[in-house]
Homo-oligomer: A and B are copies of this chain.
Amino acid sequence: MEREQRRTQVLEYAQRIFARKGFHDTNVADIIAEAGIARGTFYLYFENKRELFETLLDQALGDIETRILRVRRGPGQPPAIAQVRANLQRVFEYMLAHSELLDILLHHASGFDPVLDEKLAQFSARLTADIERALSLGVDMGLVRPGNLSVAALCILGAVREVIASAVRTSPGNEPRRAPAVDELVESVLAVGLRGVATARLLAGEEG
């Protein structure tokens, strides 16, 4: 436990620096200075800089996936929309409370290491597949309009991602965002996702 604690501590320091300076511009020197440990100590806990970063990434991805629960149907289960809403809420709250992680995910995790890239790609693929499965189920139950569900899944994932990214950008501090804001964000995303942006009139083409 002793060891785990130390590791975790260093991970936290490193996370902050990575978020601020990115992977390449973060030296081991930076990390150990921040963590107040000696150079050799760093390598006692991590194989190298990349492994540390990978750990951070795994953690973040895992934390996020943990917060996404499969939508369940059946007596006693909340309505589907409520379950989706709860998922969104959990993810938004987590991400906004860990904006550093998000920053790493969005800006620094990609393009410098094939292994990590693959990891991220698989994460996205997993999420997309989850969403698509849910949609497919919805279609079967008459809750979701049929169509190209994989594209729809991508749209939903992309929308969520972008909104979160934007939200983090505008609340750079670490103070947890006011609850109402998250609620509104979630509602808005949900609204767009469920009903789209168009009115009947637009859809009818009666624009003139």
Interface flag for A179 (CB, 8 Å): no
Partner of A156, one of B141, B159, B203: B159
Indicate the member of A73, A117, A157 with the most B CB atoms within 10 Å. A157
**B24 near A197: Cβ-Cβ < 8 Å:** no
**A201 near B163: Cβ-Cβ < 8 Å:** no
Partner of A196, one of B162, B194, B207: B194
Q: How far is the CA of A79 from the CA of B198 in the complex (A)?
A: 13
**B163 near A151: Cβ-Cβ < 8 Å:** yes
**A201 near B143: Cβ-Cβ < 8 Å:** yes
Q: From residue 91 to 142 of chain A, which have CB atoms closer than 8 A to chain B?
A: 106-108, 110-112, 117, 121, 128, 135, 138, 141-142
Question: Assembly of this chain: how many copies?
Answer: 4
**B143 near A202: Cβ-Cβ < 8 Å:** yes
Q: A81-B202, A161-B162, A162-B161 are in contact. Are A197 and B191 (CB under 8 A)?
A: no
Q: Closest chain B residue to A107 by CB distance?
A: B111
**A151 near B185: Cβ-Cβ < 8 Å:** yes
**A110 near B112: Cβ-Cβ < 8 Å:** no
A103 to chain B, nearest CB (A): 8
**B79 near A207: Cβ-Cβ < 8 Å:** yes
Interface flag for A184 (CB, 8 Å): yes
A65 to chain B, nearest CB (A): 18
**A147 near B111: Cβ-Cβ < 8 Å:** no
Complex contacts, A108 vs chain B, CB 8 Å = 110-111
Complex contacts, A194 vs chain B, CB 8 Å = 196-198, 202-203
Q: Closest chain B residue to A146 by CB distance?
A: B199
Q: How far is the CA of A205 from the CA of B169 in the complex (A)?
A: 34
Q: 10 A-B pairs, CB-CB below 8 angstroms?
A: A79-B205, A106-B110, A128-B166, A141-B207, A144-B202, A151-B188, A152-B188, A152-B191, A156-B159, A195-B198
Chain A interface (Cβ < 8 Å from any Cβ of B): 22-25, 73, 79-81, 106-108, 110-112, 117, 121, 128, 135, 138, 141-145, 147-148, 151-152, 154-163, 165-166, 169, 184-185, 187-189, 191-199, 201-203, 205, 207-208
